[in-house]
């Protein structure tokens, strides 16, 4: 049996072309690839959604409450309970810095303690999008500065939910946002 660990590997790409670039968040690339060591086989096609990744923040206050956002998401036609999060779309900015910036922009908070919970691929069958999950504690209000919420963010509701209630809602299946569920379950696992 192979080692129980992910490992880097790149299969031969015969050709690659950009199929879509709408200028906002994602691009779609078409790659024609071959299995390694099988040059006689016809290449096969895979569409790849290029995504910069995101930092997701589970912000927990001294009363063991989690900062949650109720935000409309058009792709699923629902208002979801979510966590503060932001794209890793600034060159040279690592995920931890994105998390710090997004917590200020979306919630007007800074944290004294940061714990990296995990970094995971959302759906590696067609995208390299990676979510970087952080626990933020020792929170203090600093305001958003000159950052202005737009579009869906301008309509979101912000509130504090006891961690135990949020965990129960995730386990019961009442909350469908994968980033929220994973962050809550990771934090709960660390607590035990």
Q: Which residues, at least 6 apart from 173, have a Cβ–Cβ distance to it below 8 Å? A: none
Integer Cα distance of 104 and 81 in angstroms: 19
150 a catalytic residue: no
Q: Which one is catalytic: 50, 105, 153, 155?
A: 153
DSSP string, 14-78: EEEEEEEE-SSS-EEEEEEE--TT-TTSPPEEEEEEE---EEEEEEB-TTSEEEEEEEEEGGGTE
Active centre residues (catalytic): 153
């Amino acid at each position: 049996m192979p080692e129980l660990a992910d490992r880097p590997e790149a299969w031969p790409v015969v050709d690659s072309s950009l199929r879509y670039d709408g200028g906002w968040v994602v691009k779609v690339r078409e790659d024609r690839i071959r299995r390694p060591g099988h040059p006689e086989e016809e290449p096969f096609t895979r569409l790849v959604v290029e995504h910069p990744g995101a930092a997701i923040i589970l912000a927990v206050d001294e009363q063991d409450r989690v900062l949650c956002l109720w935000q409309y998401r058009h792709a699923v036609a629902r208002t979801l309970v979510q966590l503060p999060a932001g794209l890793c779309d600034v060159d040279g900015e690592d995920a931890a810095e994105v998390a710090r910036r997004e917590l200020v922009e979306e919630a007007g908070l800074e944290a004294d303690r940061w714990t990296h919970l995990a970094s995971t691929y959302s759906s590696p069958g067609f995208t390299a999008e990676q979510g970087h999950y952080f626990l933020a504690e020792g929170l203090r209000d600093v305001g958003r500065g000159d950052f202005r919420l737009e579009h869906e963010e301008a309509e979101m509701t912000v509130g504090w939910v006891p961690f135990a209630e949020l965990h129960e809602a995730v386990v019961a299946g009442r909350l469908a946002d994968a980033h929220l569920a994973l962050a809550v379950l990771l934090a709960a696992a660390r607590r035990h």
